[in-house]
Amino acid sequence: MFKKAIVACITISILFVMSACSAFDQTFDQSNEPPSNANSESEKDGQVSENDSQQDISIPEESLQKKDKGDQVLQLQSTLNQIGYDLTENGEFDDATTWAVTDFQLQQDSLLASGIYNESTKTALKDAVENNIEIVAGSGLPQEVEPAITDSGTPVIANPYDQLVLVNKQHALPADYMPRDLVIPDVRFPFTEDLPKKQMRKEAATALEELFIAADGAGLELFAQSGFRSYERQDAIFASNSLEHGEEEANIFSARPGESEHQTGLTMDVTSPKVNFELITEFGETEEGKWIQGNAAEYGFIIRFPEGKEEITKYQYEPWHLRFVGKKAASEIMSQDITLEEYLKVSE
């Protein structure tokens, strides 16, 4: 009996210990579950924080350019400041903002410099913000430059890349400026030689191609006559005209070097067989000239020297001289019958 009692006690003790261990295991397992859940929640919180961070990146959606105003411009200025610029956030697409956009574009191999905030610039700017890429402001285009003047005393502009750059007898291009993106548009020329004057900046060339396609569709015969012209070439042309007509008379129809829009690569003179491919005012009376007057703006071009505006432009009427400024500016300029000077409201 005594032995049986001992065995029973031992058995009861073993059962008690096993039960306690089982309870401990369950308790241990349960105690580990909250940290596992906590880690899961922490991961979720990390994802939310990352998403919130991405949502904080505020990139303007619409295209913007000089003269625009409002919240979208303010947003652009704030974004540019995030990557290294120091713009006054005034909501006005002013010269400083144009410079910053141009400078940013010049630092990106994939972008064409125009000073216009467009779709490709938006993509590059978003990438710079998301990847914390800091831009060295001014390394593409210095903001502060020493004042310079041409040999004839005309002030030299600081941002020749600007698509809305004003080039006239009061604002000259640097002598060494040559656009980086010159191409030959796929349009008709009245000559076959592969000359520099066939060239335009890429975006302007594409727009000219679209304009010619539309003119062809209207049954017209447009020909491109003269596009890009270097400082040196303009110098030679002006010297020749001055020799023949006198400098003052020559400057009514011919620009001094640096003062020619042709150097921007944004200009093309157009003509037609009806005027024997010449660049004369009679072109404005042809079907081609009339069509250009009524339709150029749809493709981003303006007639740079319109009739009746000679006192403003300081040049004679040139119905053949097309200047690319982009569809938005061209529509406003042509519909209001104003000049680029009036549009930009720049005084002499």
Does 198 lie in the same domain as 314? Answer: yes
Could you say which residues of the chain have pLDDT below 70? 1-57, 346-348
What pLDDT is attached to residue 247?
Answer: 87
Does 140 lie in the same domain as 188? Answer: no
Terminal-residue alpha carbon distance, the chain: 126
**Is position 43 within any domain?**
no
pTM for this prediction: 0.83
Please enumerate in sequence order all residues whose Cβ is within 8 A of that of 281, keeping only pairs 6 or more positions apart, or say none.
316, 317, 318, 319
Count of domains observed in the chain:
2
Does 231 lie in the same domain as 94? Answer: no
Does 191 lie in the same domain as 319? Answer: yes
**Is position 49 within any domain?**
no
Please enumerate in sequence order all residues whose Cβ is within 8 A of that of 299, keeping only pairs 6 or more positions apart, or say none.
207, 208, 210, 211, 214, 327, 330
**Is position 172 within any domain?**
no
Task: Select from 125, 144, 163 the last residue of a domain.
Answer: 144
Task: Select from 88, 118, 144 the last residue of a domain.
Answer: 144
**Is position 23 within any domain?**
no
Task: Show the domain range for 86.
Answer: 58-144
**Is position 216 within any domain?**
yes
Q: Give strand pairing partners of 270.
A: 224
Does 261 lie in the same domain as 128? Answer: no
Does 325 lie in the same domain as 238? Answer: yes
What pLDDT is attached to residue 346?
Answer: 63
Does 288 lie in the same domain as 236? Answer: yes
Which of 253, 273, 231 has the alpha carbon at shortest distance from 315?
253
Does 119 lie in the same domain as 189? Answer: no
Cβ pair 114, 163 in contact under 8 A: yes
What pLDDT is attached to residue 151?
Answer: 87
Does 226 lie in the same domain as 304? Answer: yes
Does 206 lie in the same domain as 301? Answer: yes
CA 345 to each of CA 166, 219, 267, 271, 312: distance values in angstroms, whole numbers, following the listed order: 11, 37, 21, 30, 11
What pLDDT is attached to residue 36?
Answer: 44
Please enumerate in sequence order all residues whose Cβ is within 8 A of that of 226, keeping only pairs 6 or more positions apart, or say none.
197, 262, 268, 269, 279
* CATH number of the domain bearing residue 118: 1.10.101.10
What pLDDT is attached to residue 53?
Answer: 43
Which of 57, 53, 131 has the alpha carbon at shortest distance from 45?
53
For 158, phi and psi rounded to 5 degrees?
Answer: -90, -25
pLDDT tens for 85-123 read 999 999 999 999 999 999 999 999 999 999 999 999 999
**Is position 212 within any domain?**
yes
Cβ pair 108, 131 in contact under 8 A: no
**Is position 6 within any domain?**
no
- For 85-147, give the secondary structure using H, E and C: CCCCCCCECCHHHHHHHHHHHHCCCCCCCCCCECHHHHHHHHHHHHCCCCCCCCCCCCCCCCC
* CATH number of the domain bearing residue 222: 3.30.1380.10
What pLDDT is attached to residue 142?
Answer: 95
**Is position 28 within any domain?**
no
Residue 81: both structure tokens together: 């400041």
Does 296 lie in the same domain as 233? Answer: yes
Does 140 lie in the same domain as 224? Answer: no
